Amino acid sequence: MQMTFKDRCALITGAGRGIGKRIAEFIANEGVTVICVSRNDANCSAVADNIVAAGGKAVAKAVDVSDAAAVEKAAKGFLEEYSRIDIIVNCAGITRDGLLLRMSNDDWDSVLRTNLSSCFYWARHLVHPMARNRWGRVVNISSVVGLMGNAGQINYASAKAGMIGFTKSLAKEFASRSVTVNAIAPGYIETDMTSGIDDRVAEHILKAIPLRRIGQTADIARMVTYLCSEEANYITGQVFTVDGGMVM
């Protein structure tokens, strides 16, 4: 199926590495101007430079998405420079794993702020302008852990579950303005985030995946790209698991 993208501008957070990088590349490949955001300027700049070298339109900006004031400043700057942001993909995320007894307040706060509050910070500044334009796409990268829970990840699972409530509520608030809001719940995807997982644990996870392979960043990027296209205009408030069949 051919996907249609008009002259759009997309903000992709977490675009410096892993899943977000691949999403930025896929969406840029459709002719969309992409703003690549990550914590580290070198990472998002390298991604944007590669996209431009391949003939796409991309810029980079280092923004700490867990910092409400930094997001406000960046969002206002983007609106001034590009006049509108049509697509937001919230992909920036971190883990700070530990069992409840050993989890510090800081482990809790930083994971909630980076994964969940960041979605709210961007939305506060960028979704009303989308509504005025009568077109918008928000895609939030949650996790299967937000659906199932996971021992040792109370902070991360709470943030990822929160993103699902956020997605459905925002979808209801803005559906009448043709702004769609969806979430993707990836399973186990091969990136830096999962590279530290112990071999024995990885073997155990693999056994729980009916399709018997670890997911690739492109598996997620394809789904995100579709949800951002014109063709996905009748889909909102949904959570799509892309996990090789782990959650059925």
Kindly state the smallest distance separating residue 29's Cβ from ligand NDP, in Å: 18
How is 3-51 classified by DSSP, letter by letter? ----S-EEEEETTTSHHHHHHHHHHHTTT-EEEEEESSHHHHHHHHHHH
Element (H, E) at 205: helix 199-207
4 scored as a contact of ligand NDP (CB under 6 A): no
136 scored as a contact of ligand NDP (CB under 6 A): no
CA distance 93 to 116: 9
Give the nearer residue to ligand NDP in terms of CB position, either 91 or 171.
Answer: 91
Question: Please, which of residues 167-186 interact with ligand NDP by CB under 6 A?
Answer: 186
106 scored as a contact of ligand NDP (CB under 6 A): no
Q: Tokens for 169, please give them.
A: 């509520």
Q: Which amino acid is at 175?
A: A
Question: Which of 53, 54, 55, 58 is closest to 20 using CA atoms?
Answer: 58
3-state SS, residue 217:
helix
244 scored as a contact of ligand NDP (CB under 6 A): no
- Position among 33, 45, 114, 236 found at the interface with ligand NDP (CB under 6 A): 114
- Position among 5, 10, 16, 183 found at the interface with ligand NDP (CB under 6 A): 16
- Position among 18, 56, 162, 244 found at the interface with ligand NDP (CB under 6 A): 18
Residue partners of 201: CB distance under 8 A and separation at least 6: none
Kindly state the smallest distance separating residue 177's Cβ from ligand NDP, in Å: 26
Question: Please, which of residues 212-241 interact with ligand NDP by CB under 6 A?
Answer: none
38 scored as a contact of ligand NDP (CB under 6 A): yes
Assess whether 188 carries a catalytic annotation. Answer: no
Contact 135, 232 (CB under 8 A): no
- Position among 9, 58, 127, 141 found at the interface with ligand NDP (CB under 6 A): 141
CA distance 209 to 61: 36
By CB under 6 A, name the binding residues for ligand NDP: 13-14, 16-20, 38-40, 43, 63-66, 91-94, 114-115, 141, 143, 186, 188-189, 191-194
Residues noted as catalytic: 156
